[in-house]
Amino acid sequence: MTDDDSDNAFEPMGLRKIIHVDMDAFYASVEQRDDPALRGKPVAVGGDGIRGVVCAASYEARKFGVRSAIPSSMAKRLCPQLSFVRPRFAVYRQVSKQIRAIFDEFTPHVEPLALDEAYLDVTDDLKGIGSATRIAELIRARIKAETGLTASAGVSYNKFLAKIASDQNKPDGLCLIRPGEGARFVADLPVRRFHGIGPKGAEKMERLGIHTGGDIAAKDMIFLRQHFGSQADYLYRAARGIDLRRVSANRARKSIGAERTYDHDLSTGPALHEALEKIVALVWADIDRLHARGRTITLKLRYADFSLKTRARSLDAPVAFRDQFAGIGHALLDELLPLPQPVRLLGLTLSSLQGERGEGVTPPRDEQLSLL
């Protein structure tokens, strides 16, 4: 584990050179960049209404415990001086395109994960720079010069380790994990740092006496499969610093959707149909822009008591027209009427996609709207 710029050990072993670039508090940093009055102050991007949710938080806000996905009301209690800013996704997408253009100058092998992060495979070293760590440094410098924003980067021989490394020295940091160092690095890693292990998974592991990657590595496959099922293979490999996944420049989008949480519960059929029509317009705009076609339409309702209900319909042929998409969505809603209780969230998704031509750096609408 190191952050110096020597990664010559990659070459003799014929290993991949992977960089994971992660923008620092991206949405909040863009807002602070564009509004000098917000610089150095705790900022939350998101809605500040009764049911608002924090979409992103500046590092100044994180010191108070403000994090993405927590209710805005909780964020205000944690940090009374918190400034809320409504999301500007058009701006974030434009900045993301600037960053993507920088990536593309160094390698065609770019796998975006969201607007603010991506994997890069720089094994081929098209510019003859000679070091993956040096490439990461040049990319970070270019991002800072062209956007005024900082990025952190992780460099290693697989995606799992590169992603972990990018978080190691945040913000505005860089970390290199060389070949032969992966298992040792992961051994001391808290299980919460493993991608895919959420709070509930971490709690389960703690009950089993598992606190670090080394604790996972000490368990055999029989134990892991008994307690973690299909996740066992991933845990077994990750705990040893192994990840065989390739950087995929054309990673397919699985679905396109939108959902909206309302300040006041919707309790009548007409109100729900009116709200659904607005969501249809948002989703179809993305479907049309991406030239995507899919066969499965899923309606999602979250009731006032937070219970969830979904209805889905799969067709033999892809949905071809907006009216067809809207009609099926409204028909699925009719199946759930009359309501057993008021609705606080409504969503609609198209999946089983084919012929999709995504830009790769644009998040699906459900990622955007569910955070407002």
333 membership: H or E segment, kind and range = helix 322-335
Q: Please state the residue numbers annotated as binding site for Mg(2+).
A: 22, 116
Reported residue count of the chain is: 372
The pTM assigned to this predicted structure is 0.74
* Burial of 81 (C-beta count, 10 Å sphere; 0-12/13-18/19+): exposed
Label residue 370 by pLDDT band (50, 70, 90): very low
Q: Which two tokens stand for residue 35?
A: 């509004």
Q: Please report which residue ranges of 45-196 form alpha helices under DSSP H.
A: 59-62, 72-78, 89-106, 132-147, 159-166, 182-187
Domain 1-180 has CATH 3.30.70.270: yes
Distances (CA, A) of 136 to 150, 186, 214, 303, 330: 12, 22, 29, 46, 48
Count other Cβ atoms within 10 Å, centred on residue 184. Answer: 13
Least confident range from 14-18, 251-255, 280-284: namely: 251-255
pLDDT in tens, 6-20: 565 555 456 899 999
Q: Average pLDDT over the chain, rounded to whole?
A: 89
Catalytic residues: 117
74 contacts: CB under 8 Å, gap ≥ 6: none
* Burial of 15 (C-beta count, 10 Å sphere; 0-12/13-18/19+): middle
Label residue 101 by pLDDT band (50, 70, 90): very high
Q: How high is the pLDDT of residue 47?
A: 85
Q: Is-contact 283 365, C-beta < 8 A?
A: yes
Q: Which two tokens stand for residue 143?
A: 């991002």
First vs last Cα of the chain: how many Å apart? Answer: 39
99 contacts: CB under 8 Å, gap ≥ 6: 21, 23, 143, 147, 151
SS3 of 179, please?
coil
pLDDT in tens, 26-70: 999 999 999 999 999 999 999 888 778 898 999 999 999 999 888
Label residue 252 by pLDDT band (50, 70, 90): low
Count other Cβ atoms within 10 Å, centred on residue 129. Answer: 14
User: What is the fold, at CATH topology level, of the domain defined by 255-369?
Assistant: Dna Ligase; domain 1 (3.30.1490)
Q: Please state the residue numbers annotated as binding site.
A: 22, 116
CATH architecture of 183-238: Orthogonal Bundle (1.10)
Give CA angle at 51 (85, 28), nearest 5°: 25
What 3 state SS string does 144-168 have? HHHHCCCEEEEEECCHHHHHHHHCC
From the list 130, 141, 134, 152, the residue with the least C-alpha distance to 29 is: 152
For the range 262-267, what are the long-range contacts, defined as Cβ-Cβ under 8 Å and sequence gap of 24 or more? 262/51, 262/343, 262/344, 262/345, 262/346, 263/49, 263/50, 263/51, 265/304, 265/342, 265/343, 265/344, 266/342, 266/343, 266/344, 266/346, 267/339, 267/342, 267/343
Judged against a pLDDT cut of 80, whether residue 221 lies above it is answered with yes
DSSP 8-state assignment for residue 218: T
CA atoms within 13 A on the CB side of 167: 12
Domain ranges of the chain: 1-180, 183-238, 255-369
| Nearest-angstrom CA–CA distance, 211 and 217 | 11
Residue that has been written with the tokens 């012929």 in this structure: 355
Query: What would the mean pLDDT of 269-292 be, rounded to a whole number?
Result: 91
Query: What would the mean pLDDT of 287-306 be, rounded to a whole number?
Result: 90
Q: Is-contact 115 98, C-beta < 8 A?
A: no
Least confident range from 15-19, 193-197, 210-214, 339-343: namely: 193-197
SS3 of 257, please?
strand
